[in-house]
Amino acid sequence: MNFEQRLKELKLNIPVLSKPAGVYLPAIKTGNLVFSSGQLPLADNRLTFKGRVGKEVSADNAQRAAKIATLNALAAIKWSIGDLNKIKKIVRLSGYICSAIGWNDQAKVMNSASELLIDVFGEEVGSHSRVSIGVLELPMGSCLELDLIVEIK
């Protein structure tokens, strides 16, 4: 499967990579693994959803944010390897959701990111392990941050 073509079929675009907000690389390759740095739901260098999920941000908007951040993580990986078709396996998706006290549907939010990866890469390549964690604060007041680990050919 051509993953770049599949993105077009799904009417999804890999965004222009945002400049890192600190002293780090967007992604780093070691051996046959690529680790993205944490990605926020930035679009055009603007945070799309700010606040706590379950309070200022609805679960539906948090799911939208997870999709945006996933595309940003893929942009970071593409920056590192040049072509998403080099991806052999999505290994791990880690998600950190800024959650209101008592709100515990973090896995529901991250399901949208997992589903996006499977839609783009198919079951065999796109299925992955995952962590979904509720946190009190995230950079820039973001409602979530996520990162990916992928194996490349």
* CATH number of the CATH domain containing 19: 3.30.1330.40
* Residue 73: pLDDT band with limits 50, 70, 90: very high
Tens-digit pLDDT profile for residues 25-38 = 999 999 999 999 99
**How far apart are alpha carbons 145 and 99 in whole angstroms?**
12
Rounded to 10°, the helix 106-126/59-81 angle is 40
* Residue 19: pLDDT band with limits 50, 70, 90: confident
**pLDDT for position 41:** 97
**How far apart are alpha carbons 110 and 92 in whole angstroms?**
12
The pTM of this model reads 0.96
**Mean per-residue pLDDT, 75-95:** 97
Structurally, the chain folds into a number of domains equal to 1
φ and ψ of 81, to 5 deg: -110, -10
**Mean per-residue pLDDT, 114-124:** 97
Q: What domain range includes position 64?
A: 3-152
The average confidence (pLDDT) of the chain is: 96
Q: Name the token pair of 135.
A: 């946190």
**How far apart are alpha carbons 15 and 76 in whole angstroms?**
9
